[in-house]
Amino acid sequence: MRLATWNINSVRARLDHVEQFVTHHQPDILCLQETKVTDHDFPLKAFTKLGYEHSLIAGQKSYNGVAIFSKLPFAPAETRLWCGRDDKRHIAITLENGVELHNFYVPAGGDIPDITLNDKFAHKLDFMTEMSDWFAARRSDNNRIILVGDLNVAPFETDVWNHKQLLKVVSHTPIEVEHMARIYASHDWIDAMRHFVPEPEPLYSWWSYRAKDWRASNRGRRLDHVWITPALKPHLKAMQISTEARDWEKPSDHAPVIVDFEFADLK
């Protein structure tokens, strides 16, 4: 099973990018974040043509939005309203083999890493606290769960281009890293990307639009993640970050992340 996660930064603006990516990489399941479109206006027919007969979407106009497209049958799984807001940041499915997949778009948090000065940052930390509490309450040794998405935190020093310079920049501040560590511990998650590319090797999935040549400057951050519960570790097969997508015309600032699994019980 090939799984891909991608903050597309407007699915309608980059539908040709999706088609190009899917044609080349052929993911069985594609999770998108920041789709920025209502369910009514979502270009579902384009995904059906690409072979995705099964879909789950949750969107709103101009902001946020998450979607899951699958060539494999699934049923919707349990979700909730995070921080009491219906702002389309989480959906989940259960595959026929019992694997549960969660697609998250964690709030970015604004520009000022201070909860007293920045409501957006306070919301981000509250959202992450609820995530850790929710998964801790559902914890079981037998759970087969995959968590993917734009979590908007680069937790390790080598997940950013310059650790010291970014310590006060939202996405890499100590308090955000601490909150992410709590989520990580809530279900003994395994970082699938770092399973294949261990520290201290740098690993990025996002590059700012500000750089004229993003490859030359390489001032990246790893904001996109794929986590698995321990029961799924034996099924991990491979991982790659599709950096070529960042070179396409008017790209998303995020590159797709692909993780391959080996499941004998997939139909």
- How many beta carbons lie within 10 A of that of residue 201, not counting itself? 8
Mean pLDDT, residues 134-149 taken together = 95
7-26 pLDDT, tens digit per residue, is 999 999 999 999 999 999 99
Q: Is the pLDDT of residue 266 over 70?
A: no
What SS3 string covers 35-46? CCCCCCCCCHHH
> Whole-angstrom Cα distance, residue 179 to residue 165?
20
Q: What is the mean pLDDT of the chain?
A: 97
147-164 pLDDT, tens digit per residue, is 999 999 999 999 999 999
Q: Is the pLDDT of residue 264 over 70?
A: yes
| pTM strictly above 0.85 | yes
Cβ contact 46:55 at 8 Å: no
230-258 pLDDT, tens digit per residue, is 999 999 999 999 999 999 999 999 999 99
pLDDT of 267 reads: 52
Q: Is the pLDDT of residue 265 over 90?
A: no
178-234 pLDDT, tens digit per residue, is 999 999 999 999 999 999 999 999 999 999 999 999 999 999 999 999 999 999 999
Domains of the chain (ranges; CATH) run 2-261 (3.60.10.10)
28-43 pLDDT, tens digit per residue, is 999 999 999 999 999 9
